[in-house]
Chain A
Amino acid sequence: MFNTALTWNDLLFLAQGAGMTLAVTGLSVAAGTVLGVIFGVMRFQLGPYWFAPLTFLLDIFRSVPLLIQLVLGNALQSIMRLGWPPFTTSCVVLSLYTAAYCTEIVRGGISAVPPNTRRAGRSLGLTWSQDMRYIVTPLAVRVSLPAWIGLTLGVMKDSALVLWLGLIELLRASQILVTRLQEPLFILLICGAFYFIISFPVARFGGYLEKRWSPND
C-alpha cells in the first residue's frame, strides 16, 4: 500500500468536496437546462433577427473565461447588496453559462426536425403545442441528448473554478490536503480519479447514443 498520512477524516473531507462539486453541477445544469430550453425554443420561433440581442448576450458567456464570469458575478451581487453566499453566486453564474450552451443545443435539435415531418403533423390537425410535444420534442431530444450529456460533463469539470469564490469543492479540498500533508501527487490522483470515474463512462455512453441515433446509420 501507499505509505500515506491520509486519514479517514481526510477522505471524508474529500468526499464532502465531491458532494459540493456534484451539488453545484446538478443545480446549475438543472436551472441552465430549463433556461436553455426556453431560450432555444424562443430562438427557433423568433428567428435569428428578433433573437439577435439574446444571441449576443449568450455568446458573451461562451467567449469570456468562466473564472472572470464568476468574479464579475460575485462583484455584481455585492454591488447590488444581494448578500448571496458564494454557493448561490456560483450556481447562478454556472446556470447562465450552462444556459448559453444549452440554447445552441436545443436550437440545433429543433432545426434538425425535418419541416415536412412537422407539416405532416400539422396537416393531421395537431395544434402547435401538440406538434411540439408529440413530434418535435421526441425527435429533437434524440439529436440533442448526446451534446447535452457532453455539456453536463463539461459543467462538472468547469465547476472546479468555483473554488476561486471560496467554495470547498473537490479540487479545493484536495488542494487543502496537499498543503497540509505535502503529498501532492497521491491526493491529486484521488481527486482526478473521482472526476474520471464519473466522466468517462458517461462520456462513452453519450458517444454510444450519438452513434446509435445518428441518422446516417
Chain B
Amino acid sequence: MFNYTFHWNQAFKALPQMLDGAVVTLQIALLSMAIGLACAIALTLFRLSGNRILGGFATAWVEVARNTPALFQIYMAHFGLGNFGIHLSPYVALLAGIAFNNAGYLAENFRGALKAIPDTQTRSARSLGMTSMQAFGYIVLPQMLRIAFLPATNQMIWAILMTSLGVTVGMNTDLAGVTQALNAVSFRTFEFFALAAVIYYVIAKIVTLAARLFAARMFRY
C-alpha cells in the first residue's frame, strides 16, 4: 500500500526549531487571551451600562466575532486595515484577530455566567450596606469568574489552535509557520506536520491540566 519511505530523522533534527516555534505559539495565545479578557470585561460593562451606543458597539463586536470565521477576522486585520493605510505585520495581525475573536466569545461567556447568579445575591449584599460597586466586586464578580472559568479554558485551547492560522498571512515564527518553512525546503510534509500535530496536542493537554489544577486550588467551594 505504501510506496513511501518515512524520514522521521529530518523531522526530529528540526525539533528544537519547532519547539522555539511552540514558544511563540504559546506566547501569542497567552497575549491574545490577556487582551481578549480585558476587552471582554469592557464589553460586558458596556452591555450592562444601559448606554445604547456602548451596548450596541459591544453587541456588534460579540456577534461579528461569533458569526464570522476566525480566519476572516485575521484577514480583516491583515488586509482590510490596508484601506486605512494601516499595514500590520503578520504577528500583530494574527494577535489582533485572535484577541478580537477571544473577546467576543469571552464576553458572551461572561454574560451567561452573570445570568446564572441569582439577583438575590446582589440584594443581600446591598441590604448589608454595600454600594453597588462593592456588591459587584465582592459578591458577583468572584462567582462569575468561577462559572466562566471552564469555558474560558476552552477558549484558551481555541486560541492555541487559532495561532496556526497565522501561516496563511505569512507568519513564519510560530509552530505552524516554522513547520511550513521547514516543509517548503524539504518537502517532508507528513513528517514535519505530524510532529507539529503532536506538539500542539501536548500543549493543549498541558494547558487543560494546568487549568484544572488551578481551578481546584482557586475554587474550593
Chain A residues packing against B (C-beta within 8 Å): 60, 63-69, 71-72, 74-76, 79-81, 153, 157-158, 160-161, 163-164, 171, 174-175, 178, 183-186, 188-189, 191-192, 195-196, 199-200, 203
A65 and B69 contacting across the interface, CB-CB below 8 Å:
no
**Ranked 8 nearest A-B pairs via Cβ:** A65-B164, A185-B83, A199-B67, A75-B190, A157-B69, A184-B79, A63-B204, A160-B69
Report the minimum CB–CB distance from A113 to chain B (whole Å).
24
Residue of A174, A186, A192 with most partner-chain B CB within 10 A: A192
Q: How far is the CB of A75 from chain B (nearest CB, A)?
A: 4
27 cross-chain CB contacts under 8 A: A60-B197, A60-B201, A63-B161, A63-B205, A65-B161, A66-B161, A67-B165, A68-B164, A71-B189, A71-B193, A160-B69, A160-B72, A161-B71, A171-B71, A175-B75, A178-B79, A183-B83, A185-B82, A185-B83, A185-B84, A186-B83, A188-B72, A188-B79, A192-B68, A195-B67, A196-B64, A199-B67
- A157 with B70: CB separation less than 8 A: yes
The residue that B176 contacts in the complex, of A68, A79, A192, with Cβ under 8 A, is A68
Which residue of A is nearest B83, CB measured?
A185
Interface of A is mostly: helix
Q: Considering only CB atoms, which chain B residue lies closest to A201 in the complex? A: B67
Shortest B81–chain A CB gap in Å is: 8
A163–B168 touching, CB < 8 Å: yes
Q: Least Cβ distance of B94 to chain A in Å?
A: 13
Residues of chain B at interface, number, CB under 8 A? 41
Nearest CB on A from B22, distance (A): 12
Asked whether, in the complex, the Cβ of B164 is within 8 Å of the Cβ of A160, the reply is no
The SS class assigned to the B binding surface is helix
A171 contacts B72, CB within 8 Å? yes
Contact with B194, one of A72, A80, A153, A189 (Cβ below 8 angstroms): A72
Q: Is B76 an interface residue (CB 8 A)?
A: yes
Decide yes or no whether B200 CB sits under 8 A from chain A: yes
State whether A203 touches B201 (Cβ < 8 A). no
* Chain B residues with CB under 8 A of A71: 189, 193
- Taking CB atoms, residues of chain B closer than 8 Å to A81 are 3
Q: For residue B205, which residues in chain A have a CB less than 8 angstroms away from its CB?
A: 63
How distant is the Cα of A205 from the Cα of B179 in the complex, in angstroms? 40
Which residue of chain A has its CB nearest to the CB of B67?
Answer: A199
Q: How far apart are the CA atoms of A69 and B165 in the complex, in Å?
A: 12
B 131-167 to A, binary, CB cutoff 8 A, 1 in contact else 0: 0000000000000000000000000010001111101
